[in-house]
Amino acid sequence: MGVTALEDLLQLPTARGSRHYEKIHLADALPRRPGVYLFHDRNGGVFYVGKAKNLRTRVRSYFYGDDRRTVGTMLQELDRIEHRECATELEAEVTELRLIHSHRPRHNRRSKPPKSSHWVKLTHDAFPRLSLVRSQRDDGGTYLGPFRSRRSAELVMTAIWDAVPIRRCSSKAGTRDAPCAPAQLGVALCPCDGSLTRERYAPVVAVVRSGIGEDPSLLLEPLMAKMSQLAALERYEEAAWVRDRYRALARALTRRREWQAMNRAGVVWAESTDGEGAIIDHGHLSLSWNGRHGPMLARSVDVEPDGWPQTPPSVEVAEEAHLVWQWLTERRVRLLDATGPLMLPRIPVREPLLNGEARSSPDMDAVR
């Protein structure tokens, strides 16, 4: 029955009654090593991609009485299993992400790439404002993102609107007889009626730019104060809305810092205490190894160190960079060498707690 190890024997009783158990032989060639598996249908198409610390054990587990409807559907469609062995868990995570973005399997819903990326942009003009865009350009603007959906980008933009009275309308200066609605409500400064001068507006723009690039507290502390005020008034639902905006903005600021830190560092050589190592090229995993199996090439990356944008150019690149950053900061990893300094801004991004207080993000403390 294909059982060659104790762990498989212990799981065997749970497979009783499985409609598709006869297909378990498709997993016979899988090694007990980290890697990525691809499920193919009878037409050769890839409909699911997954990663595992132990490829054989993970894939066989699908046949051991998993009663999820999606698993039953996948096993019914399954015709062939392909696998790619990886040197480390990090390489398996990155390889899984790349294959999902490449094949767009219909059963991988969470990591499937979006049709388009979205950014929040602080424009570069006489009276800058926040705008939602689908591309990043070298036009003097300040960008946050990329985001998987327009809704996620709007949540971050609304958070900045709540924190700073930056203009919200897109009308040209002096084209209205009366101020726009946000200006009349006192939540934004706007030049649409011609009464706002550049000198009066410039400090607002400076706060937004500095909050995105250097001191996140300039944007996050006003949200924290607003959250506390609403909670004190027992307006808990509104306080929860502000908390969600805070978290979305804090996450966007953190990801932007991670990306820029790895790009300044250039090529990084690092190794964990258990012998897993990696060469990271401007946020991309270029090479990985462990002490037992030697180096394995993850992907050849062509890098232009002077040409990197201020945020990742796509959701795919952003998600890979975040996986690499988590490995660098959440595992016990020591840096062996780097072509540049790996560092973060001095002022940390703080995460809100349930009691209204804030704390430094753990990964920030680890690197700082």
For the chain, 368 residues long, give each residue's pLDDT as a single digit of tens: 667 778 777 777 766 556 777 888 898 889 999 999 999 999 999 999 999 999 998 998 888 866 677 888 899 999 999 999 998 999 999 999 999 999 999 999 877 788 889 999 999 999 999 999 999 998 889 999 999 999 999 999 999 999 999 999 888 888 888 889 999 999 999 998 888 999 999 999 999 999 999 999 999 999 999 999 999 999 999 999 999 999 999 999 999 999 999 999 999 999 998 888 999 999 999 999 987 555 554 444 444 444 567 899 999 999 999 999 999 998 789 999 999 999 998 899 987 654 555 555 544 343 33
Based on the fold, state whether residues 41 and 121 are members of the same structural domain: no
Select from 57, 77, 103 the last residue of a domain.
Answer: 103
For the chain, how far is it from start to end, CA to CA, in angstroms?
A: 53
Whole-angstrom distance, CA of residue 116 vs CA of residue 105: 17
Let me know whether 128 and 92 are in one domain.
no
pTM for the whole thing?
0.84
Q: Are residues 58 and 189 in the same domain?
A: no
Which domain CATH number covers 96? Answer: 3.40.1440.10
Q: Are 206 and 248 found together in one domain?
A: no
66 in the same domain as 49: yes
> Are 223 and 144 members of one domain?
no
How far is the CA of 97 from the CAs of 14, 59, 100, 149, 354, in angstroms? 31, 18, 5, 18, 32
Tokens describing residue 153: 């980008």
Examine the domain organization and report whether 185 and 243 are in the same domain.
no
Indicate the Cα dihedral angle 47, 104, 250, 285, nearest 10°: 100
Rounded to whole angstroms, the Cα distance separating 92 from 320 reads 11
Round to whole Å and give the CA distance between 81 and 30: 9
Strands 294-297 and 333-338: unpaired
Residue 11 lies in a domain: yes
Q: Are residues 145 and 90 in the same domain?
A: no
Which domain, by its residues, includes 91? 6-103
**Distance from C-alpha of 58 to C-alpha of 61, rounded to nearest angstrom:** 5
Q: Which one-letter DSSP state was computed for residue 84?
A: E
Number of domains in the chain: 3
Q: Are residues 155 and 88 in the same domain?
A: no
